[in-house]
Structure 1
Amino acid sequence: MASIPIASSGQSWIVDAATQHPEVVLTLASFAVTKLAYVRVTKAFREVYMREAGVDVRFRLTFAASGVQARAVIDGLPADIVALALPLDLDKIVSAGLISPSWRDAYPSKSIVCETTVAFVVRNGNPKNIRTWDDLTRPGVEVVLANPKTAGVARWIFLALWGAKMKQGAAASLAYVTKVFENVVVQPRDAREASDVFYKQKVGDVLLTYENEVILTNEVYGDKALPYLVPSYNIRIECPLALVDKVVQARGPDVQKAAEAFCSFLFTAPAQVEFAKLGFRVNPRTCKEVAVQQTGLPPATLWQVDKELGGWAAAQARFFDAGAILDDIQSSVGKMRAAMREAAAVAARNR
């Protein structure tokens, strides 16, 4: 199989090989940490569809931050399928008239193709003894997480932090998340960059990221892998998928048939096994056969944004829009740090 770069948003590949059969080319746009999963799953689907339909399906795969991909599709990236980090990003494409408003009803589990949760990666020996959500607020603990303004993973993490104190009320959640952000030392652009900062540059005491990203990164680093833990009360991170209906329909029935078949294939055992191998959690509602066989992941009680926060549209408006809670927290932390710098400067002048 040859990998040929193409011009597109983020990094892209064509999964390709010589063929003498009728062929269809599908473009799949996804977010950074799903790269290996979709390389494997598209290869498996290609073999199945060739055998069952006699058509060779080639894939152009493009990976970037979820919000970047949504904007690229809206601006003209000819993706046939999008698999993004946030349901809200798919809804933005719906608003542009490219995806059916009923996309959640097209496939099992409201079209959530894979799931994960939040993990803490720590240094060898866990010298800061970071084990719970509360430990993130201790003085001297340096936290690394991606920027919620640019990364879907960071918005999920922000909500996980909020949820850690949610049962105590909004005031408790606000105070807690503000304290965590006071300990944040760097906010990279996305989950993959955050891992690079923590693993390669050795910045920080704890990295907050996707559980599956930790598992994959540790495989890459081998004997330099780092320990991680999953808080027992945590958020269910849901990764949705949809056909870009307007694009697919314009390309004709052969493309539409192949694209629909691929989306359906993602919810079958052969595809879900590949997600499970890479550390994603398989929901029994999606594929019970694989879910009951999945062992080794830390047990956790996972809460859902739809049930606890009224869905992603409500969460976006409350937490992430301009002037919302995230901006208030970052402004508060910025003022605190400015005051600390001024106090240090005054102390230095008075020595």
Structure 2
Amino acid sequence: MRWWQQTWKQWQRAVEQLGRLRWNSVKSLASLFLVGVSLSVAIAACSGNGSNSAQNPAASPVAANKQDVELTLVSFAVTKAAHDAIVPKFVEQWKQEHNQNVTFKTSYGGSGSQTRAVIDGLEADIVHLALALDTSRIEKAGLIEPGWEKEVPDNGIVSKSVAALVTRPDNPKGIKTWADLAKDGVSLITADPKTSGIARWNFLTLWNSAIKTGASEEQALDFVSKVYGNVPILTKDAREATDVFFKQGQGDALINYENEILLAQQRGGENVAYIIPDVNISIDNPIAVVDKNVDKHGSREVAEAFVKYLFTPEAQQEFAKVGFRPVDETVAQTKENTDKYPKVQNLGSVKDFGGWNAVQAKFFEDGAVFDQIQAKINR
């Protein structure tokens, strides 16, 4: 089946190339014809003499040969509630359309930890991670083919959020802006950028807030150092940070995804005091198929279908219900969601800082800015 899948991809590429060629290119047409013949032979070989596709012409090649498919979805911690709602909908739809049972194995944790687990051998079919840098690391390890972000809409960004600043009820410390987190006597809870993709977004949010309000690089470093000096504990991921703040009662403030705060508010059944500062950053989370693993498992067709399903209005509405800002504009523009997600006036992007490779090198590599800050505060 791996050979068939490779042939299918060759067919798709040939079709795309043909659209860019002049029709008088006989050589190109001949190449396309040969690929088509190879594909037909592959399908015939995979189908077998008594295949289900003969009985059900609409059945897919995978569905015709394998009744049950198992997908392994590896994601960062705060997406669990969304996927718990979306996966059953996809499974039901796929069963109706293809008469094939799909089951999911899932793994949730800090994005950096999940990335290392996949590179070290966790055979994920799909990865939904906190930042594109983590997906790129899996690509560099040879597990994801280059160009993964072009396979689906929005450069692979399937969920997004902004940073929220949470305070205690009645806000006794008077925390209103990012700048207030550097004040003496303020205790902040956030996750560790070394293990959590969300925590890198938090760090970048703080740095962005300083730069966008006129600070120099030196002043931004001083500000962020003071903020992290007010952090008593760095948790391993955003979910743990939320638990430390709400369940253990530690800290005067918490930085986290807006979606994580909204979800905590839903689960707790009471209002959570939080602010979405006007100087903020777009927190973009990519999705990708792990090519090497889906080819090994024979699960490419279903994995790619699930990834595409996540961009549908039905799936995006489930993301919106648990606090993610929809990437689908039709969902984002409903009154329910415009009321729920106020527009951010000064919304930055990781691109403003050169992209994730530049950000990683400057701030998070061993010995870079974050390590220097940690050494300065003797953590």
TM-score (normalizing by structure 1): 0.85
What residue is the counterpart of 1:27 in the other structure? 72
Are positions 1:228 and 2:274 aligned together?
A: yes
Task: Determine which of 207, 210, 213 is the counterpart of 2:257.
Answer: 210
Query: How far, CA to CA, are the matches of 1:278 and 1:305 in structure 2?
Result: 24
What residue is the counterpart of 2:266 in the other structure? 219
What residue is the counterpart of 1:187 in the other structure? 234
Matches within 5 A, 1:202-351: 202-223=249-270, 225-252=271-298, 255-283=299-327, 287-293=328-334, 294-295=337-338, 296-300=340-344, 301-306=346-351, 308-334=352-378
Deviation per CA, 1:244-300: give whole Å up to 9, x if none: 001111222xx21111111110111010000000010113xxx12101112222321
Deviation per CA, 1:301-348: give whole Å up to 9, x if none: 321102x1111111000000011111111112229xxxxxxxxxxxxx
TM-score (normalizing by structure 2): 0.79
Query: How far, CA to CA, are the matches of 1:298 and 1:165 in structure 2?
Result: 22
Segments of 4+ moved more than 2 angstroms: none
- SS of 1:63 mapped into structure 2: strand
- SS of 2:232 mapped into structure 1: strand
Matches within 5 A, 1:141-152: 141-152=186-197
Deviation at 1:134, TM superposition (A): 1.2
| Paired letter, 2:302 | A
Matches within 5 A, 1:135-174: 135-167=180-212, 168=214, 169-174=216-221
What residue is the counterpart of 2:19 in the other structure? none
- How many residue pairs align between the two structures? 308
- Unpaired runs of 5+ residues, structure 1, are 1-20, 336-351
Task: Determine which of 48, 68, 71 is the counterpart of 2:116.
Answer: 71
| Paired letter, 1:26 | L
Deviation at 1:101, TM superposition (A): 1.5
What residue is the counterpart of 1:9 in the other structure? none
Deviation at 1:22, TM superposition (A): 2.3
Deviation at 1:146, TM superposition (A): 0.7
Matches within 5 A, 1:28-43: 28-43=73-88
Are positions 1:120 and 2:159 aligned together?
A: no
What residue is the counterpart of 2:16 in the other structure? none
- SS of 2:106 mapped into structure 1: strand
Query: How far, CA to CA, are the matches of 1:64 and 1:179 in structure 2?
Result: 28
Identity %: 46
Are positions 1:82 and 2:123 aligned together?
A: no
Greater shift in the superposed pair: 45-54 or 257-266: 45-54
Query: How far, CA to CA, are the matches of 1:326 and 1:69 in structure 2?
Result: 21
- Unpaired runs of 5+ residues, structure 2, are 1-65
Alpha carbons 2:73, 2:124 under 8 Å: kept: yes
RMSD of aligned Cα (Å): 1.4
Deviation at 1:230, TM superposition (A): 0.8
- SS of 1:202 mapped into structure 2: coil
| Paired letter, 2:86 | V
Alpha carbons 2:165, 2:255 under 8 Å: kept: yes
Deviation per CA, 1:172-210: give whole Å up to 9, x if none: 211211111121122111111111111111111001111
Query: How far, CA to CA, are the matches of 1:30 and 1:140 in structure 2?
Result: 36
Deviation at 1:78, TM superposition (A): 1.3
Task: Determine which of 214, 218, 222 is the counterpart of 1:175.
Answer: 222
Query: How far, CA to CA, are the matches of 1:100 and 1:131 in structure 2?
Result: 44
Deviation at 1:71, TM superposition (A): 1.2
Deviation at 1:226, TM superposition (A): 2.5
Deviation per CA, 1:27-62: give whole Å up to 9, x if none: 100011111111111111111111222222111111
Alpha carbons 2:112, 2:194 under 8 Å: kept: no
- SS of 1:334 mapped into structure 2: coil
What residue is the counterpart of 2:43 in the other structure? none
